[in-house]
Amino acid sequence: MDANKRQRYEKISIELTKLVGGKDNIQGVAHCATRLRIVLKDNDLADLKAIEDVDLAKGVFVAGDQVQIIFGAGLVNDVYEVFAEHNNMKNMSLSDLKTVANKKMNPLQRIIKALSDVFVDIMPGILAAALLTGLSGVLGNFDFVKANETLFGINKLINISSGAIFGFLPLAVAYSACKRFGGRPILGIVIGCIMLSDSLANAYAAAQGTVEVTVLHIFGLGVKLVGFQGGIIVALLMGFVTAKLDLFFEKKVPEVIRLLISPLLTTLVGALLLFTIIGPVGRGLSSGITNALVWMTQNLGVVGYAVFSGLQQLVVITGLHHIFGAIEAQLLADTGRNFINPLMSVAIIAQGGAVLGYLIMHRNNAKTKELCIPSFVSVLFGITEPALFGINLRYRFPIIGGCIGGALGGIIVYLTNLAALGFGTTVLPGIALADPTGNGYVNYVIAHAVAIAGGFIMTLVLGKFMDKTPVTETVVSSTAQTEQIQQIEPIVFDIPDKEEFFGYAKGQMIAMEDVKDETFANKILGDGVAVIPEEGKVYAPADGRIISIFDTKHAICFSSNCGTEILIHIGVDTVNLQGKYFTPHVNTGDIVKKGQLLIEFDKENIQKAGYDTVIPMMFTDFPDGKTLEVSKPCNMTVDTNIANVYKKA
């Protein structure tokens, strides 16, 4: 690192240390491919707004217990080195940082994070069941479907499929929970099978009194042999208990008999606890939660609905919203209708309305458009993090407008008795889950229209008094800074009239806005494309040179022969794998040709580890003398033209 760079990074480090509350407030620091990640004792001492203006910083947000500052590929390595040295925290890995962050969490936060991890793993199945339920409900309303035996038969199979998935949901939850807490997943499946065994009376039939329930007496306790259909919370508890039992017996049972005795004891003790303690406690807890929510709707009426939908997105900011999945599942199991889903949905779309309101107020600001448009698109599919952290929280008044819009939507949900027949998806896809009873689909649209309009209008109104955003935002603050940047990057390339970039992986090309990560989706690191890969290989998109390969092997910086720099990032948050499942075939400084294999990765095992394997490719630090034209999404191969770089006229 030359003297000019080090001097600049030292200045950044001194300023950052001050803005995060001083050295005494820093508990840990590490970095990934693009972000400097800092764990603080007290996040409230950090001036996030001022950090946004720090030299070379492209953005800042709080994720979990980490303050994450985006510097970009390559640059973050050097900034981290100087910052960590300045604060005496060098050689801390991301794993070490996560350990520090977890210690900082209170017990409730740890529980919520665990719940989130459990449901993320099985969400594809839940979504499939929910959408199939919605599709079956829609088709069942058409007379021509009922009259046509083929269509009727197909709809019947759809209904059976959705019912089967939800019917065995406790098994899936027990499996995922056991896996999450360190046990062998197969033992979670075994406990799930016991919960739903045909030898037990069906829980729904027992509740209706249409089946005789056998009662056993164990240790003086009356144990009813009733199944746990719909017992989501019981399944969560049993998954945790099974994992801990498995870990305990694996340590205590002698190795010579461990393979036979350890799973036997885990299953036996787990089953006893299920029927004597965990089951009754879980049933009581489930009943209490459901009854409390139903009480709110019956006794607080429109006020309860409005408060819930008005504040729900504030709960998202804290991370507590992940618990709603378990509550929704339990609510469906107990009542057959889920009023929480449409309340959450109108809360989400209202924040989208706030984004549109802010966009209209700053429509002449190019950076605002880059943030707002993809954030709003994400909202349409139920993802609000880019909108919340990128715009609404950042500028404060839009989130207030969004909350008011959400409350207005909640009032419509109450007045129209709107509910869903599933859970797991909201806003546009969520209409498929709406209960069609009483013009449910029309009411769904009306509630969302009111919510988005409310968020939009209230943001405009509040902005008249509260908007302090500058009219323009300058990228370079002074001529001196420009000269300093030029000293750091002295190489000048001849810019051709047209430069072509080709496919870097085989698979389905998607727009950058569709990547499920706010940094990529908001193009903070640059515009580009992404691909959902069919195989675990990444190729060179053009002739050029390897600038760097990250130590964790999940990302690579590449420069074309004409000096256009790109970053190829394999997966989302795959830096946490610490290089596992990645095999580079080139080294830093290598000259490569278009289509040359750069990195191989184990796609299946990365997905099994819970990571999204989408591969974004971003044009970083794009110079003023060039313009970028990105191709439309298609099936990408190494011969597909994915982008053209043109010389400005």
Q: What is the DSSP string of 155-190?
A: HHHHHHHHHHHHHTHHHHHHHHHHHHTTS-HHHHHH
Q: What is the mean pLDDT of residues 452-473?
A: 79
Residue 313 has pLDDT above 60, yes or no: yes
Residue 439 corresponds to which amino acid? N
The whole-angstrom separation of Cα 515 and Cα 368 is 19
Which pLDDT does position 558 carry in this prediction? 87
Q: Is 372 a catalytic residue?
A: no
Phi, psi for residue 87 in degrees, rounded to 5 = -105, 10
Q: What is the mean pLDDT of residues 47-60?
A: 83
| pLDDT tens digit sequence for 506-540 | 999 998 888 888 778 888 777 899 999 999 999 99
- What count of residues does the chain have? 649
Which pLDDT does position 319 carry in this prediction? 45
The model's confidence at residue 338, banded by pLDDT at 50, 70 and 90, is: confident
Chain mean pLDDT for the chain? 81
DSSP 633: P
The whole-angstrom separation of Cα 459 and Cα 123 is 33
The whole-angstrom separation of Cα 4 and Cα 485 is 10
The model's confidence at residue 111, banded by pLDDT at 50, 70 and 90, is: low
Higher pLDDT, 284 or 534: 534
Confirm if 510 and 531 have CB atoms less than 8 A apart.
Answer: yes
CA distances from 315 to 112, 307, 432, 477 (A): 12, 12, 25, 37
Q: What is the mean pLDDT of residues 230-243?
A: 88
Q: What SS3 class is residue 522?
A: coil
Percent of the chain with pLDDT over 70: 82
The whole-angstrom separation of Cα 163 and Cα 186 is 23
Report for 104-118, 289-303, 403-417, 431-445: range of highest mean pLDDT:
403-417
What element of type H or E holds 526? Answer: none
Q: What is the mean pLDDT of residues 315-334?
A: 65
> Of 374-383, 468-477, 540-549, 638-647, where does mean pLDDT reach its minimum?
468-477
Which pLDDT does position 43 carry in this prediction? 77
Residue 191 corresponds to which amino acid? I
Residue 644 has pLDDT above 80, yes or no: yes
- Which residues on neighbouring strands pair with residue 599, listed in sequence order? 538, 584
Sign for the CA dihedral angle at 257, 259, 262, 265 comes to: negative
Residue 542 has pLDDT above 80, yes or no: yes
Q: What is the mean pLDDT of residues 6-30?
A: 85
Residue 471 has pLDDT above 90, yes or no: no
| pLDDT tens digit sequence for 176-206 | 889 888 889 999 999 999 999 989 998 878 8
The pTM score is 0.47
Strands 528-533 and 537-539: unpaired
Higher pLDDT, 149 or 480: 149
Which pLDDT does position 293 carry in this prediction? 58
String of DSSP letters for 259-321: HHHHHHHHHHHHHHHIIIIIHHHHHHHHHHHHHHHHHIIIIIHHHHHHHHHHHHHHHHHHTGG
| pLDDT tens digit sequence for 117-141 | 676 667 667 657 766 776 776 787 7
The model's confidence at residue 159, banded by pLDDT at 50, 70 and 90, is: confident
CA distances from 487 to 76, 481, 560, 600, 620 (A): 18, 10, 21, 36, 18
Which pLDDT does position 272 carry in this prediction? 93
Active-site residue (options: 32, 178, 403, 557) = 32
Residue 94 has pLDDT above 60, yes or no: no
CA 514 to chain centre: 12
Q: What is the mean pLDDT of residues 242-251?
A: 93
Q: What is the mean pLDDT of residues 431-458?
A: 93
Residue 333 has pLDDT above 80, yes or no: no
Which pLDDT does position 4 carry in this prediction? 73
Q: What is the mean pLDDT of residues 258-277?
A: 93
String of DSSP letters for 46-70: S-HHHHHTSTT--EEEEETTEEEEE
Which pLDDT does position 91 carry in this prediction? 58
The model's confidence at residue 488, banded by pLDDT at 50, 70 and 90, is: very low
> Of 271-280, 332-341, 384-393, 603-612, where does mean pLDDT reach its minimum?
384-393
Which pLDDT does position 107 carry in this prediction? 65
Half-sphere exposure of 434 (CA within 13 A, CB side): 30
Residue 101 has pLDDT above 70, yes or no: no
Which pLDDT does position 403 carry in this prediction? 93
DSSP 44: G
The whole-angstrom separation of Cα 120 and Cα 131 is 17
Q: What SS3 class is residue 29?
A: strand
Which pLDDT does position 320 carry in this prediction? 47
The whole-angstrom separation of Cα 300 and Cα 441 is 25
The whole-angstrom separation of Cα 596 and Cα 544 is 11
- Terminal Cα-to-Cα distance of the chain (whole angstroms): 36
Residue 569 corresponds to which amino acid? H
Q: In what order do the strands lie in the sheet with 537-539?
A: 537-539, 597-601, 582-584
The model's confidence at residue 485, banded by pLDDT at 50, 70 and 90, is: very low
Higher pLDDT, 481 or 125: 125
